[in-house]
Chains A and B, each alone.
Chain A
Amino acid sequence: MTEAYPLPSHLSPATVANTASLLRIVALALISGAAIASRLFAVVNFESIIHEFDPWFNYRATKVLASQGFYEFWNWFDPTAWYPLGRVVGGTIYPGLMATSGVIYNFLHALNLPVDIRNVCVLLAPGFSALTAWATYMFTKELKDESAGLLAAAFIGIVPGYISRSVAGSYDNEAIAIFLLMFTFFSWIKALKQGSAFFGTIAAVFYFYMVAAWGGYVFITNMIPLHALVLLLMGRFTSRLYVAYSSWYAIGTLASMQVPFVGFQPVRTSEHMAALGVFGLLQIVAFAQLVRAHLSSKQFQNLLFVSVIAAGILGALGIVGATYKGWIAPWTGRFYSLWDTGYAKKYIPIIASVSEHQPTAWPSFFMDLHFLMFLFPAGVILCFREFRDEHLFVIIYSLMASYFAGVMVRLMLTLTPVVCVSAAVALSTLLDTYLDPKEPDTANDSNNESDAGTVASNGASTSAATSSSKKTKKDKEKVAQAPAGGALGNLVTGVASSAVAAKKGEKAFAAKGIFGLDTRFAVLINVLGMLFFFVVHSTWVTSNAYSSPSVVLASHNPDGSQNIIDDFREAYYWLRQNTAETAVVMSWWDYGYQIAGMADRPTLVDNNTWNNTHIATVGKAMSSSEEVAYPILRKHDVDYVLVIFGGLVGYSGDDINKFLWMVRIAQGVWPDEIQEPNYFTATGEYRVDDQASHAMKNSLMYKMSYYRFAELFGGSQAQDRVRGQIMPQTGPTLDCLGAYYFDYSSFLQVLMRFRAEEAFTSENWIVRIYEVKKEDLLGRDLKSANAFEQGKKRKRTKPLSRRKAIV
Chain B
Amino acid sequence: MAGPKSSKPASSATTEAVSSLWKSYTEQTPDRLKFIDAFLVFIILSGVTQFLYCVLVTNFPFNAFLAGFSSSVGQFVLTASLRSQVNPENRSEFKEVSPERAFADFALGSIVLHFFVYNFLG
Report yes or no: A294 in contact with B24, Cβ–Cβ below 8 A.
yes
Report yes or no: A303 in contact with B21, Cβ–Cβ below 8 A.
yes
Find A239's partner among B13, B67, B84, B112 (CB 8 Å cutoff): B84
Which residue of chain A lies nearest to B90 when distances are taken between CB atoms in the complex?
Answer: A239
Binding site for A on B (CB under 8 A): 10, 13-14, 16-18, 20-21, 24-25, 28, 62-63, 66-67, 70, 73-74, 77-78, 80-82, 84-85, 87, 89-90, 93-94, 96-97, 101-102, 104-106, 108-109, 112-113, 116-117, 119-120
Find B28's partner among A205, A243, A294, A300 (CB 8 Å cutoff): A294
Give me 24 A-to-B residue pairs in the complex whose CB atoms sit less than 8 angstroms apart, sorted by A's number: A194-B96, A195-B85, A200-B81, A204-B112, A239-B87, A239-B93, A240-B93, A243-B85, A246-B77, A246-B80, A251-B112, A251-B113, A254-B70, A254-B74, A255-B116, A258-B120, A283-B77, A286-B84, A291-B21, A294-B24, A300-B17, A302-B10, A303-B17, A306-B14
**A194-B94, A294-B21 are contacts. A251–B66 as well, Cβ < 8 Å?**
no
Q: Which residues of chain A come closer than 8 Å to B104, judged between CB atoms?
A: 198
Q: Which residues of chain B come closer than 8 Å to A294, judged between CB atoms?
A: 21, 24-25, 28
Which residue of chain A lies nearest to B67 when distances are taken between CB atoms in the complex?
Answer: A254
**A195-B93, A251-B109, A257-B120 are contacts. A295–B67 as well, Cβ < 8 Å?**
no
Q: Which residues of chain B come closer than 8 Å to A296, judged between CB atoms?
A: 20
Q: Which 4 A-B pairs have the closest CB atoms?
A: A246-B77, A250-B74, A197-B105, A299-B17
Which residue of chain B lies nearest to A304 when distances are taken between CB atoms in the complex?
Answer: B17
Interface residue A293 (Cβ < 8 Å from any Cβ of B): yes
Q: What is the interface of chain A mostly: helix, strand, loop, or mixed?
A: helix
Q: Which residues of chain B come closer than 8 Å to A249, judged between CB atoms?
A: 77
Q: Which residues of chain B come closer than 8 Å to A257, judged between CB atoms?
A: 63, 66, 120
Report the separation of the CA atoms of residues A305 and B117 in the bound assembly, to the nearest whole angstrom.
37
Report yes or no: A250 in contact with B96, Cβ–Cβ below 8 A.
no
Report yes or no: A303 in contact with B80, Cβ–Cβ below 8 A.
no
Report yes or no: B24 in contact with A201, Cβ–Cβ below 8 A.
no
The smallest beta-carbon distance between B64 and chain A, in angstroms, is 12
Which residue of chain A lies nearest to B25 when distances are taken between CB atoms in the complex?
Answer: A294
Report the separation of the CA atoms of residues A294 and B89 in the bound assembly, to the nearest whole angstrom.
12
Q: Which residues of chain B come closer than 8 Å to A250, judged between CB atoms?
A: 70, 73-74, 77-78, 113
The smallest beta-carbon distance between B20 and chain A, in angstroms, is 6
Report yes or no: A303 in contact with B82, Cβ–Cβ below 8 A.
no
Which residue of chain B lies nearest to A267 when distances are taken between CB atoms in the complex?
Answer: B66
Report yes or no: A201 in contact with B108, Cβ–Cβ below 8 A.
yes
Report the separation of the CA atoms of residues A255 and B112 in the bound assembly, to the nearest whole angstrom.
9
Q: Which residues of chain A come closer than 8 Å to B10, judged between CB atoms?
A: 302, 305-306
Interface residue A196 (Cβ < 8 Å from any Cβ of B): yes
Q: Which residues of chain A come closer than 8 Å to B109, judged between CB atoms?
A: 197-198, 200-201, 247, 251
Interface residue A253 (Cβ < 8 Å from any Cβ of B): yes
Q: Which residues of chain A come closer than 8 Å to B28, judged between CB atoms?
A: 294
Given contacts A198-B108, A240-B93, A286-B84, 16 further A-B contacts (CB under 8 A): A194-B94, A195-B85, A196-B105, A197-B85, A197-B108, A197-B109, A239-B94, A243-B81, A249-B77, A251-B113, A257-B120, A264-B62, A264-B66, A283-B77, A295-B17, A306-B14
Interface residue A242 (Cβ < 8 Å from any Cβ of B): yes
User: Could you give, for residues 182-226 of chain A, a 1 whenever the CB lies within 8 Å of some chain B CB and a 0 otherwise?
Assistant: 000000000000111110110011001000000000000000000
Report the separation of the CA atoms of residues A250 and B110 in the bound assembly, to the nearest whole angstrom.
10
The smallest beta-carbon distance between A294 and chain B, in angstroms, is 4
Q: Which residues of chain B come closer than 8 Å to A293, judged between CB atoms?
A: 89
Report the separation of the CA atoms of residues A303 and B16 in the bound assembly, to the nearest whole angstrom.
10
The smallest beta-carbon distance between B104 and chain A, in angstroms, is 7
